[in-house]
A and B are shown apart, each in its own frame.
Chain A
Amino acid sequence: MFCIFEKRLEKANKCSYNKNNKSRTNIRMVIEMGQSVPAVTLEKSIEEKLKILSDAAKYDVACTSSGSDRRGQKGMLGNSVAAGVCHAFAADGRCISLLKILMSNHCVYDCKYCINRKSNDIARATFTPQEICELTVEFYRRNYIEGLFLSSGVLNNPNETMEKMCQTLRLLRTVYHFNGYIHVKAIPGASAELLYSAGLLADRISLNMELPTQASLGKLCPNKHMNQIIRPMNCISETIAVNRIAHGKTARLDRAGINRHLENSIFGETSRRIEANAAQSLQTMRFQYPAERMDALLHRDFAPAGQSTQMIIGATEETDFELIRTSQQLYQSFDLKRVFYSGYIPINDDTALPEIGTPVPLLREHRLYQADWLMRFYGFHANELLSEEQPFFDRHIDPKCEWALRHLGDFPVEINRASYDQLLRVPGIGPTGVKKIMSARRYGSVNFDMLKKMHIALKRAQYFITCNGKMLYPIPISQNFIRNQLTDLDRVEIAKIEGNTVTYQQMNLFRDFHMEGQA
């Protein structure tokens, strides 16, 4: 009798390993019932799996297909465009560029904020590699997606999970001849060799930091440690740099062209350090060389679109200053291509987290993205935008306007003479606008009419610029006046972000006309 039971157990485990889609609970249930293992009857349909696993993956923010430029080839399917392509926009207004799915939502970890934590009683499923490949290729041919975003819950252990993910990507690249974009999530704790395989198969590799400090991580993710995240992140960063040098490129990733004109950009200072690290790594050859390295079919760069990460905001008590300072460090130290911010959506009932029904901090997330853009494209540093004394962004006006109001002495700037750096710091003027102004200035002077036609946001910029020595209207250079004007502009935008359609308010003599002191 015992022998039969053992055989059944063995058969059940084997079946589970081969099919990759049956939870341990199901196996136990089958064995307890004393039946033969009905693997087929318990199999979920692909529709059900897609529903479960795309639902489980939707809280991951990164869905970009940018950073990798690769032309199509005969006999292959797909290409990759540097700017990325959004193929649809979901009901929440977020771009759908990649088929964002989990390989499995079974997880041995119990992170408090995560929908897939092991203590949650939810439907579980696991895709087979073939199913993922079929879905990706068929969706791609129909022009629904630009590629695949593959993440996963931790199945048994990080190495096993990462190995299965690599197996899927290898199948997609070699058997299905998929040449489109792939974004793969690195599982914290997976071995360096597996990370190297994943990077060679994918375009972008990312590792979610989720929380910026060890204290928050310890509070919400009992099974994770900051070292498990920082070490692989560093390893990936160095591998990218070494690989780029080996291909005759610079160690650092290519950044937006506007950074070439900015002397004090965050990408300016640390390049030497990264190059030195890469050179040292080349000498010591600390990297593993898995089978992919020698495979002629996979003669690819290592993660050509770089690596990215994601941080949850609103679940713990970090300030905006801590978050953007961490982001700046990540950009500088690990040469990350992007840091994503995810406003925490209360999905789990837990005393350590905001209670269910708490509004998602969308405006805060928006302000953090604005600050992130200011650091990557406008030459700002984190400590210029916020400080220990003022650790949060103003709700009412954007970070660039806020900075400009604190530095009114630098304004107004003359459009026809200002440098790249000065123009980029004017609210309402972005990198595209600056390029247009600079090219137009070569052939004559620029006036306000031209700026309007260049789509410069004069509603913001008018307070900070002059054209040929004149402002658009006679405007008092007063902090209160300009702040009120800009707040009024942003009220509609804030209402849109927060989903509040009522944008009017009762006028208040003391608040709106600054008569508090006189009252």
Chain B
Amino acid sequence: MIYYCCEKDWESVLTCIYEAWTQKRGQANIQLIFEPVVQYTLFDEYIHVKADTALAEKVVDAVNRKLSPQFYYEIAHVGMYEAPDVADVLFRVLLLGFAYGPYVLEMVQYKDIMRFREMRCSIGNEISHFREFTRFHEVNHRYVAIIEPRSRIIPALAEVFLDRMPSESWMIADLTNRMAVVHPKDGFYQFVDLTAEEMERLMEIEKNNDRMEVLWKIFFETTAIQERKNERCQKNLYPIWTRKHAVEFMEMRTEKQTCCENENVL
């Protein structure tokens, strides 16, 4: 078996697909995996593939031209998903796509297509969760949100919030993948990588709650009907892992309280 190894970013995945395709070593003999490789095997060949913008663009161009922009949209979404077999499934789906055309995604008789659809469904759900549960904090008329998703969903979220708040300055920081999207008022967003120091500074924002956050917590608690209380249903629809940065489940601390506590400590 020949293993093509690449990083998890989209450019590396596309470059890896390009290399695996052009080297023509026989699709049954190759597999695409992500680095770091935990355990190497003795008799297999491992090929490291480095991201190359020009090669990645060739794949993007081929998919858009020979298949369809909608097909590219679908594979780009699955590319964000966090699973060890993403690159390999994408490679095999593209092989099938180039052989049968863009409607191949409906051919669930192929196990790779079925796996692709499962991953597409999961990433769609995760994007929906964070579209719903991302909470912004106001800092000098700018809005900052911190999230910890499982997958690299920041590009999809950026599109969502660009449409929702085009005339606000906002930023969403992804602590899992150490990246952020920054949107200036009436402008277009851009992605930045976060340093450890920046991440720590961002975490400070959540420590104080302003008046609107207190009001939201009041609303969240009052609007529930006690006679219909159903925590199991709430957990099912609002999974606990997505609540990490949700204001409504935090203990409210105003700036004044934090200052008083700090003075006491000093």
What's the minimum C-beta distance from B155 to chain A, rounded to whole angstroms? 18
B-contacting residues, A83-134, CB 8 Å: 85-96, 99-100
What's the minimum C-beta distance from B185 to chain A, rounded to whole angstroms? 10
**Interface assignment of B98: CB less than 8 Å from any CB of chain A:** no
Name the A residues within 8 Å of B221 (CB-CB): 91
- Contact in complex: B222, A439 (CB < 8 Å): no
Name the B residues within 8 Å of A249 (CB-CB): none
Q: Which stretch, B1-9, B25-33, B50-58, B161-169, touches the partner chain A?
A: B161-169
- Contact in complex: B218, A440 (CB < 8 Å): no
What's the minimum C-beta distance from B128 to chain A, rounded to whole angstroms? 8
What's the minimum C-beta distance from A496 to chain B, rounded to whole angstroms? 6
**Interface assignment of A260: CB less than 8 Å from any CB of chain B:** no
**Interface assignment of A369: CB less than 8 Å from any CB of chain B:** no
- Contact in complex: B228, A86 (CB < 8 Å): no
- Contact in complex: A89, B237 (CB < 8 Å): yes
Q: Which stretch, A138-146, A377-385, A387-395, touches the partner chain B?
A: A138-146
- Contact in complex: B114, A444 (CB < 8 Å): no
Name the B residues within 8 Å of A96 (CB-CB): 220, 223
- Contact in complex: B167, A76 (CB < 8 Å): yes
- Contact in complex: B132, A47 (CB < 8 Å): no
- Contact in complex: A87, B215 (CB < 8 Å): no
* Docked pose: A437 CA to B247 CA in angstroms: 41
- Contact in complex: B231, A54 (CB < 8 Å): no
How many of chain A's residues touch chain B, expressed as a range?
35 or more
- Contact in complex: B106, A92 (CB < 8 Å): no
- Contact in complex: A440, B106 (CB < 8 Å): yes
**Interface assignment of B38: CB less than 8 Å from any CB of chain A:** no
Partner of B143, one of A57, A85, A142, A444: A142
- Contact in complex: B228, A362 (CB < 8 Å): yes
What's the minimum C-beta distance from B55 to chain A, rounded to whole angstroms? 32
A-contacting residues, B167-212, CB 8 Å: 167-168, 186, 212
- Contact in complex: A58, B224 (CB < 8 Å): yes
User: Could you mark each residue 69-91 of chain A with 1 if its beta carbon is under 8 Å from any beta carbon of chain B, else 0?
Assistant: 00111111111000001111111
What's the minimum C-beta distance from B236 to chain A, rounded to whole angstroms? 8
**Interface assignment of A442: CB less than 8 Å from any CB of chain B:** yes
- Contact in complex: A95, B237 (CB < 8 Å): yes
- Contact in complex: A59, B225 (CB < 8 Å): yes
- Contact in complex: A89, B238 (CB < 8 Å): yes
Q: What total of chain B residues lie within 8 Å of the partner, measured CB to CB?
A: 53
Among residues of B, the one whose C-beta sits closest to the C-beta of A362 is B228
- Contact in complex: A88, B229 (CB < 8 Å): no
Using known A-B contacts A54-B219, A439-B106, determine if residue A90 contacts B224 with beta carbons closer than 8 Å: yes
B-contacting residues, A482-519, CB 8 Å: 496, 499
Q: Which stretch, B64-72, B80-88, B134-142, touches the partner chain A?
A: B134-142
Using known A-B contacts A87-B132, A143-B134, A450-B108, determine if residue A92 contacts B229 with beta carbons closer than 8 Å: yes
What's the minimum C-beta distance from A448 to chain B, rounded to whole angstroms? 13
Name the A residues within 8 Å of B246 (CB-CB): 88
Partner of A73, one of B108, B143, B166, B238: B166
- Contact in complex: A440, B136 (CB < 8 Å): no
- Contact in complex: B107, A443 (CB < 8 Å): yes
- Contact in complex: B212, A139 (CB < 8 Å): yes
Name the B residues within 8 Å of A345 (CB-CB): 225, 227-228
- Contact in complex: B136, A58 (CB < 8 Å): no
Name the B residues within 8 Å of A89 (CB-CB): 233-234, 237-238
**Interface assignment of B131: CB less than 8 Å from any CB of chain A:** yes
Name the B residues within 8 Å of A14 (CB-CB): none
**Interface assignment of B39: CB less than 8 Å from any CB of chain A:** no
What's the minimum C-beta distance from A507 to chain B, rounded to whole angstroms? 27
* Docked pose: A345 CA to B136 CA in angstroms: 35
Name the B residues within 8 Å of A50 (CB-CB): 215, 218-219, 222
* Docked pose: A444 CA to B232 CA in angstroms: 40
- Contact in complex: B109, A440 (CB < 8 Å): yes
Name the A residues within 8 Å of B109 (CB-CB): 440, 443-444, 450
- Contact in complex: A74, B163 (CB < 8 Å): no
Partner of B131, one of A85, A138, A360: A85
Name the B residues within 8 Å of A99 (CB-CB): 219
Name the B residues within 8 Å of A135 (CB-CB): 215
B-contacting residues, A433-486, CB 8 Å: 436, 439-440, 442-444, 450, 453-454
**Interface assignment of A190: CB less than 8 Å from any CB of chain B:** no
Name the B residues within 8 Å of A54 (CB-CB): 218-219, 222-223
Using known A-B contacts A91-B231, A93-B234, A443-B106, determine if residue A47 contacts B134 with beta carbons closer than 8 Å: no
Name the A residues within 8 Å of B14 (CB-CB): none
- Contact in complex: A85, B132 (CB < 8 Å): yes
**Interface assignment of A417: CB less than 8 Å from any CB of chain B:** no
Name the A residues within 8 Å of B162 (CB-CB): 72
What's the minimum C-beta distance from B219 to chain A, rounded to whole angstroms? 5
- Contact in complex: A86, B237 (CB < 8 Å): yes
What's the minimum C-beta distance from B173 to chain A, rounded to whole angstroms? 14
Partner of A92, one of B131, B137, B164, B224: B224
Among residues of A, the one whose C-beta sits closest to the C-beta of B214 is A47
Using known A-B contacts A47-B218, A139-B212, A453-B108, determine if residue A72 contacts B228 with beta carbons closer than 8 Å: no
What 6 new A-B contacts, CB under 8 Å, besides A50-B219, A77-B168, A362-B228? A59-B225, A72-B165, A74-B167, A88-B246, A93-B237, A142-B138
25 residue pairs bridging A and B, Cβ less than 8 Å apart? A54-B223, A74-B186, A76-B166, A76-B167, A87-B133, A89-B237, A90-B220, A90-B223, A90-B225, A92-B226, A94-B228, A96-B220, A96-B223, A100-B223, A138-B212, A141-B136, A142-B135, A142-B216, A142-B247, A143-B134, A343-B228, A345-B227, A345-B228, A440-B106, A453-B108
Q: Lowest 4 A-B CB distances belong to which pairs?
A: A93-B233, A90-B224, A91-B224, A92-B228
Q: Using a CB–CB distance below 8 Å, which chain B residues touch chain A?
A: 106-109, 114, 118, 131-138, 143, 145, 161-168, 186, 212-216, 218-234, 236-238, 246-248
